[in-house]
A and B are shown apart, each in its own frame.
Chain A
Amino acid sequence: MLLSSIVFIPLLGGLLILLMNRENEWAIKTMATIAAAIPVILAGWLYYCFDQSTADIQFAEKMDWIPSLGVSYFLGVDGLGLPMVIVTSLLSLVAITVSWNIKTRVKEYFALFLILETGMMGVFVALDLFLFYIFWELVLVPMYFIIGVWGGPRKEYAAIKFIIYTVVGSVFMLLGFLAIYFTSDPHTFNIIELSQGNQFKGMLLFQNIAYLALFLGFAVKVPIFPFHTWLPDAHVEAPTAGSIILAGVLLKMGAYGLMRVCFPILPEAAVYFAHCLAGLALINILYGAFTALAQTDLKKMIAYSSVSHMGYVLLGMSALTVTGFNGALLQMFNHGIITGALFMLVGVIYDRAHTREIAGFGGIGKQMPAYTGLMAVAVMAAVGLPGLAGFISELLCFVGAFPVYKLITSGAVLGVLLSAVYMLGMFQRIFTGELNPKWAELKDADFREWISLLPLMALIVLLGFYPRLILDVMNMTITHLIPRFQ
């Protein structure tokens, strides 16, 4: 029941909020925070109870749901799912605390956010393709509203673009699921059964077609070039909390889908397309980095840096080695925390200055010293400074990929260099130099902001020194997975 509780407590909280009086905003916010905090505690408990010495599914829950379609309600976590559950619960709580300053339509906002959390959690614990798809789509509509109602000036455009892109991907993914279901023998949606036996051995054509269908769905979410164009719009228009969730969790859903569904179920296709994926990863890394370099809007820059950083995940995965996979998964975790922190910091300054033009700032460092310190940690982590979280995972991705794709990996390292250029350049232009007199009134980070940022900062430092906290969790699962690609 542990996993069901983690998944459905937010939904329950959301429904309760819908029944509450809309005037009582404090109660609504408290309720939302509690409903988001419980999953964090439960996820911690899950981590504590998790047996790191096995690759098996743990905390499994299985029930028949629609027997005539072979659909079951099947939840469970292993080394792939657990880190994502932790990061989702954490970022959801952070996003909800960040949102305490929301002023319009508070009730709907928090209810939608909690429904969103249920969808995201469900994706990471569902082990039935059908259930996976339901949760996948459940994320869509709340996110549409969060962007569309509480977003920036071009919110309507960004929201519908987000919906259309994601739906395009997901319907083809659904067709892929159907093809897998009807080709498997006996017909099953069970991800574990499908990825353990060798159902589709030798059916390379089928595997490739199914792979491409699924890939389209996941690639839009990651996003992989050229399916990324929804991302800058959605990020820029979304409210701060929406951006945190988008970058921290939603992008990971795509990469997680590749790891959980695409690769294990269709191993031959995964090998067949590995080179293409590595090539796309390189494009993602360089394209994202160069575009980020050209941005003048702070949020847009971080959005494009996400594209670049997700490229490392893809690169690590495409190597199909234990090190590469470890690096990819760890990078997903780290990137979630780091970008979450970055978007939050952007939100903090946007709340005060109502602009995100990098050139418009300058010398903020003296005005907001604490904020500057926090930003420095996040920026350094994003750049990949040793001792902070980003370094280890990026290194693992490169080390894993290098023996397989020497040229591509060498090119990808350029991305790290570029990220140092744009991140540090941004930092310099905003925080150092003469203080723009316009910003003399800016207040430093307040208590609520500290509270929501501290756990992320702590994790960034902690994982920088001791990445085994997460690596040990996923190691067994990945060691069992990789031989499928030999």
Chain B
Amino acid sequence: MNWAFIDWTLLAPEIIVLITALLIFGLDLIWGDESERETLGWLGILGLIFAFYATLALGQGGELFNHIYVVDSLSIFSKQILLGIGVLIILASLDYIKGATKYEGEYYGLLLLAILAMMLISSAAELITIFICLEFATLTCIILSAYFKHEPKSTEAGLKYLLVGLLSAVVLLYGISLVYGLTGTTTLYQIGGSIRKYAFQPVLFISCIFLAAGFGFKIAAVPFHTWAPDTYEGAPTPITAFLATASKVAGFVILLRFFVGGLGDIEGHWIGIMVTLAVLSMSIGNLSAIPQTDIKRMLAYSSIAHAGYILIGLAVLSRESLTAVLFYLLAYAAANLGAFLVIIAFSKWTDLHNISDYAGLSKRSPLLALSMLLALMSMAGIPPLGGFIGKFYIFAGAVSEAVSDPERLWLIGLPVWGVIFSIVSVYYYFGVIKAMYLVEPVDTQPIPIPVPLGLALLIAILLTLLIGIYPGPFLALSESAIQSIF
């Protein structure tokens, strides 16, 4: 390996984020106790924006270290989403974290490291690298979930995430070891080449199950979702938003790269697994969301359900459906961030988390209520919002395959199942809307919106609207991203 020939510019975004994170840790250490830690948050935002700029300059990308680390359109797409999410989360955290903990500076540093880890995940294309990056992300997220260490709920959230996360990591590792044993190599690129010879291999099937378990944890797909409700509820709300969006994006990108990119030629081994996960996630996620009273917990179950919809795209495995996966992630992230940002503003001010506490929000704070309304409607798939186009595209991909190939007519069952449960989802999303608009407020005091959070909210909601009304460019972006693996 000749170091001179490594194109370090491909790593520019990661390096920028890393340096910013280290800078934040360093400054946090040397600054006196009285210093304003908010500056560190702004520094983080600056770093992320620079990194975003750097991703724009990556062009066609390339690969590093003999296909261990690939910078292709998929990973660039994913990094851009992750950096965008990071900026919004930090904007929302600035006010939230102030005074809530003694360790403000490290919070931003860790958040940046978590983003870095997820950026690495989206480029990792070798088993060891994938495992290390996944663990990197999991560990930072665990620490962030348990960040309010004097709040029992927060530490409990961390513990649940820790135990389930480690277990799934080990299961994943077992699956990875089997793949390695079968192929004798650890780069996905070579695995794809040498695995093609298997018509059906029981060991490979088992390892696919193990791999799905590991990645299923990251995307919170049933039955590997048990951590999500507790962790979402207990973790600091910006971190919940981060887990619900960034973690899911990274999880799906690695799922795509591993299964579609690496094991794409032996899809018979894993399509059944994806179908099972999709069906279970849609049904259990949506049904469990109905009785929830805590809004974060409700959104946790709804995010599980959304993982189910997205998995339809993987199970169908066509160019359209995989494009739809990425597009859906984008729309989902925008709408979910919108909803969580409203929750951040609301819970910071009132310290209440129940859906019934949102009663009369439309009178207390019309803008927050309107944002929440749009975000929830997008998630429920009501046009003309982003979530609708996402769902439409996912279902369209499935129907297209089912209609054009008589042997795969069974695929029609997935969108049918999906629409049935999106009706269920309308019910619980409208439960929140009902509370906000139809019920009279108990407390009429208006809720202030901190300026940075308002800015983040505006971006998220405008994006949700834009994706719905003018989806063309976003579809084009998703399509070009998926071309690097399928």
Q: Which A residues lie at the B interface, using CB under 8 A?
A: 65-69, 108, 133-134, 137-138, 140-141, 144-145, 148-149, 155-156, 159-160, 163-164, 167-168, 171-172, 174-175, 178-179, 181-183
Contact = CB atoms under 8 A, between A and B. Distances in A.
Contacts, number: 77
Interface in B351-410: 362, 377, 382-384, 388-389, 392-393, 395-396, 399-400, 403-404
B475 interface: yes
Contacts of A171: 419-420, 422-423
A171 B391 CA distance: 11
CB-CB nearest 4 A-B residue pairs: A171-B419, A178-B399, A134-B383, A182-B403
A164 B382 contact: no
B395 A178 contact: yes
A142 B148 CA distance: 41
B257 to A, nearest CB: 23
Given A138-B384, A156-B434, A175-B415, 14 more contacts: A69-B475, A108-B362, A134-B384, A137-B383, A148-B437, A149-B438, A159-B434, A160-B427, A175-B395, A175-B399, A175-B416, A178-B415, A181-B396, A182-B399
A60 B181 CA distance: 64
Contact of A69 (B396, B403, B404): B396
A145 B437 contact: yes
Among B377, B416, B419, B420, residue most surrounded by chain A Cβ atoms (within 10 Å): B419
B32 interface: no
Nearest to B427: A164
A160 to B, nearest CB: 6
B202 interface: no
Contact of B392 (A156, A167, A174): A174
A149 B437 contact: yes
A168 B438 contact: no
B313 to A, nearest CB: 15
Contacts of B420: 171
A168 B437 CA distance: 23
B280 to A, nearest CB: 20
B343 to A, nearest CB: 21
Interface string B408-446: 000000011001101100110010011001100000000
Contacts of A182: 396, 399-400, 403-404
B102 to A, nearest CB: 43
A156 B359 CA distance: 13
Among A145, A164, A167, residue most surrounded by chain B Cβ atoms (within 10 Å): A167
Contacts of B56: none
Interface residues of B, number: 33
B422 A160 contact: no
Interface in B249-295: none
Contacts of A68: 472, 475-476, 479
A294 to B, nearest CB: 30
B471 A66 contact: yes
A174 B430 contact: no
A19 to B, nearest CB: 12
Nearest to B433: A144
B395 A137 contact: no
A329 B96 CA distance: 59
Contact of B383 (A67, A133, A155): A133
B403 A183 contact: yes
B14 to A, nearest CB: 31
Contacts of A134: 383-384
Among B400, B423, B427, residue most surrounded by chain A Cβ atoms (within 10 Å): B423
A118 to B, nearest CB: 11
Nearest to B393: A69
Given A164-B426, A178-B396, A137 B403 contact: no
Nearest to B439: A156
A138 B384 CA distance: 7
Among A65, A69, A172, A181, residue most surrounded by chain B Cβ atoms (within 10 Å): A69
B308 to A, nearest CB: 16
Contacts of B471: 66
Contacts of B416: 175
Contacts of B362: 108
Contacts of B404: 182
B399 A140 contact: no
A149 B388 CA distance: 25
Contacts of B392: 69, 174
A174 B422 CA distance: 12
Contacts of B422: 171
B157 to A, nearest CB: 32
Among A133, A144, A149, A182, residue most surrounded by chain B Cβ atoms (within 10 Å): A182
A159 B438 CA distance: 10
Contact of B382 (A137, A148, A155, A175): A137
A144 B426 CA distance: 12
B315 to A, nearest CB: 17
Nearest to B400: A182
B403 to A, nearest CB: 4
B403 A179 contact: yes
A168 B420 CA distance: 8
Given A145-B437, A163-B426, A179-B403, A174 B472 contact: no
B402 to A, nearest CB: 8
A178 B434 CA distance: 31
B475 A174 contact: no
Contacts of B475: 66, 68-69
A65 B471 CA distance: 9
A69 B438 CA distance: 37
Given A149-B438, A175-B416, A160 B430 contact: yes
Contacts of B388: 137
B472 A66 contact: yes
Contacts of A67: 472
A156 B403 contact: no
B481 to A, nearest CB: 14
Contacts of B400: 178, 182
A136 B427 CA distance: 19
A134 B475 CA distance: 18
A149 B420 CA distance: 27
Contacts of A159: 434, 438
Nearest to B373: A141
A233 to B, nearest CB: 15
A167 B377 CA distance: 12
